[in-house]
Structure 1
Amino acid sequence: MPHATPLIATLVAGICLAFVAGLVAHRFRLPPIAGYLLAGVVIGPFTPGFVADQKLANELAEIGVILLMFGVGLHFSLKDLLSVRAIAIPGAIGQILVATFFGLLLGLAMGWSAGSGFVFGLSLSVASTVVLLRALQERRMVEMEKGRIAVGWLIVEDLVMVLTLVLLPPLAGVLGGTAQTADVDPELTRALGIGAVWTAVSVTAVKVSAFIALMLVVGRKVIPLILHYVAHTGSRELFRLSVLAIALGVAYGSAKLFGVSFALGAFFAGMVLAESQLSQQAARETLPLRDAFAVLFFVSVGMLFDPVNLMERPLAILATFVTIVFIKSAAAYLIVKAFGYPRTIALTIAASLAQIGEFSFILVVLGVGLNLLPPVAQDLVVAGALFSILVNPLLFMAVDHYGAKLDAPAAGQEPAPGEAPPQAEEPAAEDEPEPTALTDHAVVVGYGRVGKRVVERLRAAGIPLLVIEERAGVAGALRAGGIEAIGEPAGNRGVLAQANIAGARWFVTAIPDVFAAGTLIEQARTANGAIAIVARAASQAEADHLRQFGANHIVIAKDELAAAMAEQLLTGDRAYRTREDGGAQGELDLASPSPV
């Protein structure tokens, strides 16, 4: 009799079906997310055949959320977070209020009470961590201004939802449900004399403040210290394990001890680790697991969806979808514009927030348990989440294709006689940066261990060059040293144009990511058909992949190492024979045994 293995079955079914469905979606030029969601529907409880364990799938998906937020924190800093507080805090709160109001109206239209509509609106107001960050990372926007605003907005929403989950049980009676005050210490309430609700608010504020203070004061010193100690052991296995232990341990500990979400705890763990020189390596070590578990999140969403709801509640689902995708994103767009930001940033934030996810599920389940929401509300939230997640990549594609065109007329208008020139909406450094004055130069992407040596050799040879390095601090140091550098990911819109790739003579990709390198090589070849492109690869298969995109010369690390070792051996053999022959130069007899 076979052993019961629900965990293995859920993992295997989820990942294998997600792979097949994602491949089919890609074949039909659809976002892979569509395939992942479909895979979830197939193995969910509402379709015939194999049914995966829903609870296990949700817990596995939570690991993906933790690793994703940890990775974002690694590219973020406290300075970045504080730099967007002026828009992120009022923007997130304003957008939550607008979405909640329209959710309330929708609930009243369906015959629910005001309290039910209020909770339903709250569940529609918060964006999914996984969907938002995945979209930003795919477009390499996390470190851009629009990405920092979106992440800061997300953190504020996260904090609001943490507070909501704490306050909802004691407030349920006021809203028409069943109040629960078991989580509030009666003795503490009596001692403070401020009531159960305000006691819960105070305790939550103290816990969150204590957690943030602990991470910023103690964590900023202890976590990098641990990682540096492990790095000095020389064991890559221990280093990878330490990164995972920090991400998962801090996330779990923060949730249990301080009551904050797993995602928020992981974000702060990554943010304090970002100050370490090992942060980039830590991000690379978590990437494979992060992607695998993030896929399971979409599978778990698909498992919640019952296709029968499409026939039973089409209008309610449509109204929910419109509230999430159009009303909420319109509110975000108008808020960002009201703060004086350009349309490109406003459109990106609007597209980022036009979906819902994990916090929405938690909130609606709690609302049903407190008798604040009818069970049908959960079906509507799940349907709204599924369709908004499915549409979200299409919204980003629209922003990518048409966002720049929307700003082009305003930027291209000439002022009337006697009028002052209009002010640019966005700093030139981000939207339309000035291209470099270099021509007939070399463009080097990546300033890691390989890129650094390439730059040193080119500079010694007197070749004009420009470096594209996504770490802004490293790019700044290069500029201080007299090397022209761009401190953004090379895949960001306009970066290759800023490097004047059309007028360059050489293009060198020194980054280890073969997929990103292939995309960059294709863009460089399209912009300059005569440019000489040199790339690095780890295998012949990677070399063949890069050659398809237009690389002229590909250096395979192990082949070059073997050639250098053989050259050293043969050079030593020639020198030895020269000494044996009394200085005469003869042909090397490869059949003779080498003295080396």
Structure 2
Amino acid sequence: MFGRVLDKEFSDSDNQETPDKSSFNNSISDHQAVLETVAVITHDKKKNESEKANSSKSFQIGDMFGGQNENSDDLETVIDKEDNVFVMSNRKTKYPTLQLDLRLIKDLVVIIVSATAGGIIFSCLGQPVIVGYLLAGSLVGPGGLNFISEMVQVETFAQFGVVFLLFALGLEFSLTKLKAVGPVAVIGGLLQIALFMFLCGLTAVLCGAKSSEGVFVGAFLSMSSTAVVSKFLVEKGSTNALHGQVTIGTLILQDCAVGLLFALLPVLGGASGIFGGMMSMAKLLLVLSIFIAVAYMMTWSFVPRFLKLMIQLSSQTNELYQLASVAFCLLLAWCSDYLGLSLELGSFLAGVMISTTDFAHHTLEQVEPIRNLFAALFLASIGMLIHVKFLWNHVDILLAAVILVVIVKSIVVTVVVKAFGYSIRTAFVVGLSLAQIGEFAFVLLSRASHLHLVGGKMYLLLLGTTALSLVTTPLIFKLIPVVMHLGILMRWFPSESSMQNELPLQDKATMLEAYNRSL
């Protein structure tokens, strides 16, 4: 009787699915897809179990992370003609069901546990925990023990680390100080990129290579790691120091310039004309100006009232305020990315908008635990791109390339910052802080490879150099105080007392005190 009641209440017409525009036939008829031969591999669980029972193969630790689940259904994978492997994990069912990606859960557990272990080990050794995160990621990634099954999902999830890291930086960043370092950050940052592109383009021509490839390498090398450098500045308490303000301002400018560089790549690759590339960059600059103008108006009109309302609604618990802060950060990050800018710019701008209110410190306290978790996850995901075997096989040429990059970038950045009236001491610290190649370089390199802008050997060289430079960045930061004290003893740099004569921000004494503490 109960079954008849259900049949009467829920008819078969309720289960009919609406037409899916992304279905197989519709995709082909609308010319949204092309037919291609693929191989579907079904992993029979029972067959695998019998083979394991009858085989004498010894146990391997990788079997623990193979992604197989005794209670899961048979896994199907699709391999196309280019040997790309796709996991069939979204089967359509008659009734809506809750679907779990257990492989993603397993991957997140592996990467978080390994990052925690790496951080603990390096903390006990008195080394920066960032090195532990990077090496832990390289150990469990494809270049190591290959415990991670779904690289794309993990890396996408880890991208929240950069978003929350820059959001927290924006909360600690003073808008007044940002205006003070604006010239060296904006004009100086663009000048650094232009100098690298010119020098590498000229070197390519002199060596008989294509000038377009040299210009791209210059743009590639001009990028520094926002996530890694920001993490070190936060750990050292240098975000309010003079060199910290200049460094962060330059990093934010580089993040903004990524969109312009993406518009430039088709021009260098010959995919679009010079006029088309110039129009794309002009459009991007216009969008950036409008986005910043709208954010500035919201800073003084909407944001204070919104945060005050959240404080009133969160009188008993901070849960709602914490959720609202995260939502505000993610919303601006998404809007920035949707407009063709970057997630990093939007999240940093969200933090700067809140920093002008009286709720900046409270907001930072709420998002700090979230930032720490996702920042560790992001750094470990960057480590997964590092293939230890590849680095070891080519350690000589890659180490020489990293040393050359560190020297050249330090000199160029130091000269540019010094040209804006800062002391040689501050300029040199900024130069060393920006001496690595950033994580955005991986994205630029991938896009350039698709446009055939760089050859296969150059691709491997740049990829290995970037990975090794990220690994050596903690060592550079550890050496900065030693180099600075040595420079003072050798009278290369002025002493602390002469720092009073340097181009100031709003509060010289406070900035100098923070600067000395960071060293």
TM range (shorter): 0.7 to 0.9
Name the % identity.
28
Take 1:108 and 1:320, find their aligned partners in 2: how far apart are those partners?
19
Aligned to 2:218: 121
Q: Does the C-alpha gap of structure 1 residues 172 and 106 become closer, same or farther in structure 2, counting only changes over 3 Å?
A: same
Aligned to 1:427: 500
1:389-400 to structure 2, matched below 5 A, reads 389-400=470-481
Q: Does the C-alpha gap of structure 1 residues 278 and 113 become closer, same or farther in structure 2, counting only changes over 3 Å?
A: same
Given the alignment of the two structures, is residue 337 of structure 1 paired with residue 410 of structure 2, yes or no? no
Amino acid at match of 2:108: L
Say if 1:125 and 1:324, in contact at 8 Å, map to a contact too.
Answer: no
Take 1:310 and 1:215, find their aligned partners in 2: how far apart are those partners?
44
| Higher mean displacement: 279-288 or 352-361 | 352-361
Aligned to 1:272: 353
1:370-381 to structure 2, matched below 5 A, reads 370-381=451-462
Aligned to 1:229: 309
Take 1:158 and 1:48, find their aligned partners in 2: how far apart are those partners?
33
Q: Does the C-alpha gap of structure 1 residues 169 and 225 become closer, same or farther in structure 2, counting only changes over 3 Å?
A: farther
Q: Does the C-alpha gap of structure 1 residues 392 and 163 become closer, same or farther in structure 2, counting only changes over 3 Å?
A: same
Amino acid at match of 1:203: K
1:173-572 to structure 2, matched below 5 A, reads 173=270, 179=271, 195-233=275-313, 234=315, 235-256=317-338, 258-310=339-391, 313-407=394-488, 425-427=498-500, 493=516
Unpaired stretches in structure 2, ≥5 consecutive residues: 1-70, 73-99
> Looking at CA atoms only, which structure, 1 or 2, has the larger radius of gyration?
1
Q: Does the C-alpha gap of structure 1 residues 162 and 44 become closer, same or farther in structure 2, counting only changes over 3 Å?
A: same
Q: Does the C-alpha gap of structure 1 residues 218 and 114 become closer, same or farther in structure 2, counting only changes over 3 Å?
A: same
Give CA deviations for 1:207-235 in whole Å, capped at 9, x if unaligned.
11110101011244212321111111113
Deviation at 1:266, TM superposition (A): 0.9
Say if 2:216 and 2:268, in contact at 8 Å, map to a contact too.
Answer: no
Give CA deviations for 1:69-116 in whole Å, capped at 9, x if unaligned.
111111223322221123223332332234335544776799753222
Q: Does the C-alpha gap of structure 1 residues 29 and 271 become closer, same or farther in structure 2, counting only changes over 3 Å?
A: same
Deviation at 1:63, TM superposition (A): 0.7
Aligned to 1:21: 118
Aligned to 2:62: none
Deviation at 1:51, TM superposition (A): 2.4
Give CA deviations for 1:258-307 in whole Å, capped at 9, x if unaligned.
21111111111111111111110101111111111111222122211223
Given the alignment of the two structures, is residue 85 of structure 1 paired with residue 182 of structure 2, yes or no? yes
Say if 1:336 and 1:346, in contact at 8 Å, map to a contact too.
Answer: yes
Amino acid at match of 2:106: A
Give CA deviations for 1:362-388 in whole Å, capped at 9, x if unaligned.
111110111112244443333223322
Corresponding residue SS for 2:302: helix
Say if 2:268 and 2:453, in contact at 8 Å, map to a contact too.
Answer: no
Deviation at 1:159, TM superposition (A): 2.2
Aligned to 2:167: 70
Aligned to 2:153: 56
Deviation at 1:195, TM superposition (A): 3.8
Q: Does the C-alpha gap of structure 1 residues 242 and 305 become closer, same or farther in structure 2, counting only changes over 3 Å?
A: same
Query: Which one scores higher on RCO, CA 8 angstroms, separation ≥ 6?
Result: 2
Deviation at 1:327, TM superposition (A): 0.9
Q: Does the C-alpha gap of structure 1 residues 287 and 489 become closer, same or farther in structure 2, counting only changes over 3 Å?
A: farther
Deviation at 1:399, TM superposition (A): 1.9
Deviation at 1:41, TM superposition (A): 1.4
Say if 1:127 and 1:353, in contact at 8 Å, map to a contact too.
Answer: yes
Unpaired stretches in structure 1, ≥5 consecutive residues: 174-178, 182-193, 414-421, 432-471, 477-485, 496-596
1:578-593 to structure 2, matched below 5 A, reads none
Q: Does the C-alpha gap of structure 1 residues 412 and 222 become closer, same or farther in structure 2, counting only changes over 3 Å?
A: closer
Deviation at 1:312, TM superposition (A): 5.0
Amino acid at match of 1:250: L
Say if 1:64 and 1:293, in contact at 8 Å, map to a contact too.
Answer: yes
Give CA deviations for 1:440-486 in whole Å, capped at 9, x if unaligned.
xxxxxxxxxxxxxxxxxxxxxxxxxxxxxxxx99xx9xxxxxxxxx8
Deviation at 1:411, TM superposition (A): 11
Take 1:47 and 1:409, find their aligned partners in 2: how far apart are those partners?
44
Corresponding residue SS for 1:232: helix
Amino acid at match of 1:217: M
Say if 1:13 and 1:52, in contact at 8 Å, map to a contact too.
Answer: no
Take 1:412 and 1:279, find their aligned partners in 2: how far apart are those partners?
36
Q: Does the C-alpha gap of structure 1 residues 86 and 491 become closer, same or farther in structure 2, counting only changes over 3 Å?
A: closer
Q: Does the C-alpha gap of structure 1 residues 274 and 302 become closer, same or farther in structure 2, counting only changes over 3 Å?
A: same
Q: Does the C-alpha gap of structure 1 residues 331 and 171 become closer, same or farther in structure 2, counting only changes over 3 Å?
A: closer
Give CA deviations for 1:102-150 in whole Å, capped at 9, x if unaligned.
5447767997532223212211211011011111111111112211111
Deviation at 1:490, TM superposition (A): 8.5
Take 2:235 and 2:414, find their aligned partners in 1: how far apart are those partners?
21
Give CA deviations for 1:18-50 in whole Å, capped at 9, x if unaligned.
111222223333322222112111221233442
Given the alignment of the two structures, is residue 132 of structure 1 paired with residue 229 of structure 2, yes or no? yes
Take 1:253 and 1:84, find their aligned partners in 2: how far apart are those partners?
26
Take 1:411 and 1:319, find their aligned partners in 2: how far apart are those partners?
26
Amino acid at match of 1:493: N
Say if 1:66 and 1:266, in contact at 8 Å, map to a contact too.
Answer: yes
Take 2:366 and 2:465, find their aligned partners in 1: how far apart are those partners?
34
Q: Does the C-alpha gap of structure 1 residues 265 and 6 become closer, same or farther in structure 2, counting only changes over 3 Å?
A: same
Take 1:88 and 1:370, find their aligned partners in 2: how far apart are those partners?
30
| Higher mean displacement: 163-172 or 95-104 | 95-104
Deviation at 1:429, TM superposition (A): 9.9
Corresponding residue SS for 2:500: coil
Amino acid at match of 2:214: G
Q: Does the C-alpha gap of structure 1 residues 15 and 377 become closer, same or farther in structure 2, counting only changes over 3 Å?
A: farther
Take 1:149 and 1:44, find their aligned partners in 2: how far apart are those partners?
34
Q: Does the C-alpha gap of structure 1 residues 397 and 369 become closer, same or farther in structure 2, counting only changes over 3 Å?
A: same
Say if 1:120 and 1:377, in contact at 8 Å, map to a contact too.
Answer: no
Corresponding residue SS for 1:93: helix
Q: Does the C-alpha gap of structure 1 residues 129 and 232 become closer, same or farther in structure 2, counting only changes over 3 Å?
A: same
Deviation at 1:316, TM superposition (A): 4.2
